[in-house]
Amino acid sequence: MQWTGVMPALTTAFNEDLSIDHPFVARHAQWQVENGVTGLIALGSLGEAATMAFDEKLDLIATLVRAVDGKVPVVAAISALSTSEAVALAKAAYAKGAQGLMILPPYVYKGDWREMKAHVAAILEATPLTAMLYNNPVAYGTDFLPEQIQELATEYPNLKAVKESSTDVRRVTAIRALVGNRLSIFVGVDDAIVEGINAGATGWVAGLVNAFPRESVDLFRLASESKSAEAFELYRWFLPLLRMDTVPKFIQLIKQVQQEIHVGSARVRAPRLEVIGEELAATRAAVQHAIASRPSIAVASTQLTVKAAAK
């Protein structure tokens, strides 16, 4: 398990009856790999894990493991209302072939540091897999401070990375100052990726990569290689879409982008509903502008040969 590069936070494709579309999930995963991603993260926020039953989550992991056949690791995001359920999910995902974990704080309950540390520790101790800590205080109301991340890294050797989604790029430098190269730091918000890499991040858990994998991989590479002019040219073009990853309806918007360019369906599970009206029009306009204004430096993603069922 190498914690580096671009790892998609995969969306989950649904059939018309809102069951998981496993054939499309498999092909979409393979397409991401073909375009250069270094791993696949399933069951995260963007994957709508909160709407899935326990067995559905495991079936999804199994589909992805079969689909990529060892070409890249499959990472299972671990989230639950209770620590016991999170531990059970981690063990079951490991049994299904997951090669890494991404650990979220508990849903709903916003605990103090002692409680959050105990929750994370229980998951880290549940399997021999290495793991990434997911810090997203905006979404979950729990903030893992740099000093607390350092404490976890000191005590748990299988904690290898942190996904930093606080939206504050200074967190990257703060964590790096405390842990050095002990942890890989991933940027978790799409519209801060170039700034995050410049601050010392070495990975990207990306959202719009679900629709534009090659463009995402190229942006990460250019920024990592300090090719500033080329990186910012591609970044400026990409930003109107990347900003969709940072708003409350990011799942609906990213899935709508996938549908607009025929690499997925906009279907989401309730309580989310597909965007309509002005939101839909604005999303379509942003996609059309991106297609029309693609810079010469942008290498388009290869074609996804299997499309989601038509609406």
> How confident is the model over 201-228, as pLDDT tens digits?
999 999 999 999 999 999 999 999 999 9
Closest CA to 105 of 76, 134, 127: 134
pLDDT category of residue 184 using cuts at 50, 70 and 90: very high
Distance CA 225, CA 190 (A): 18
Do 33 and 214 meet the contact criterion of CB atoms below 8 Å apart?
no
Which tokens belong to 292? 């029309």
191-200 average pLDDT score: 96
Cβ within 8 Å of residue 284, ≥6 positions away? 256, 260
Q: CB pairs under 8 A, 24+ apart, for 115-120? A: 116/142, 116/144, 116/148, 117/148, 117/151, 117/152, 118/83, 119/83, 119/86, 120/152
Q: List, as one string, the DSSP characters of 240-305.
A: HHHGGGGSTTHHHHHHHHHHHTTSS-----TT-----HHHHHHHHHHHHHHHHT--TTPPPPPP-S
Look up the pTM and report it: 0.94
Q: Tell me, what's the pLDDT at 311?
A: 34
On average, the pLDDT of the chain sits at 95
Domains of the chain: 5-292 (3.20.20.70)
163 catalytic? Reply is yes
- In this predicted structure, the answer to whether residue 164 has a pLDDT above a threshold of 50 is yes
- In this predicted structure, the answer to whether residue 233 has a pLDDT above a threshold of 50 is yes
Q: Tell me, what's the pLDDT at 304?
A: 81
pLDDT category of residue 298 using cuts at 50, 70 and 90: confident
Q: Tell me, what's the pLDDT at 139?
A: 83
- Check 94, 134, 140, 156 and give the catalytic one: 134
pLDDT category of residue 305 using cuts at 50, 70 and 90: low
- In this predicted structure, the answer to whether residue 152 has a pLDDT above a threshold of 70 is yes
- In this predicted structure, the answer to whether residue 310 has a pLDDT above a threshold of 60 is no
244-281 pLDDT tens trace: 999 999 999 999 999 999 999 999 999 999 999 999 99
pLDDT category of residue 306 using cuts at 50, 70 and 90: low
- Check 156, 163, 235, 255 and give the catalytic one: 163
Do 301 and 24 meet the contact criterion of CB atoms below 8 Å apart?
no
106-135 average pLDDT score: 96
- In this predicted structure, the answer to whether residue 307 has a pLDDT above a threshold of 60 is no
- In this predicted structure, the answer to whether residue 76 has a pLDDT above a threshold of 80 is yes
25-53 average pLDDT score: 97
84-117 pLDDT tens trace: 999 999 999 999 999 999 999 998 899 999 999 9
- In this predicted structure, the answer to whether residue 309 has a pLDDT above a threshold of 80 is no
162-181 average pLDDT score: 94
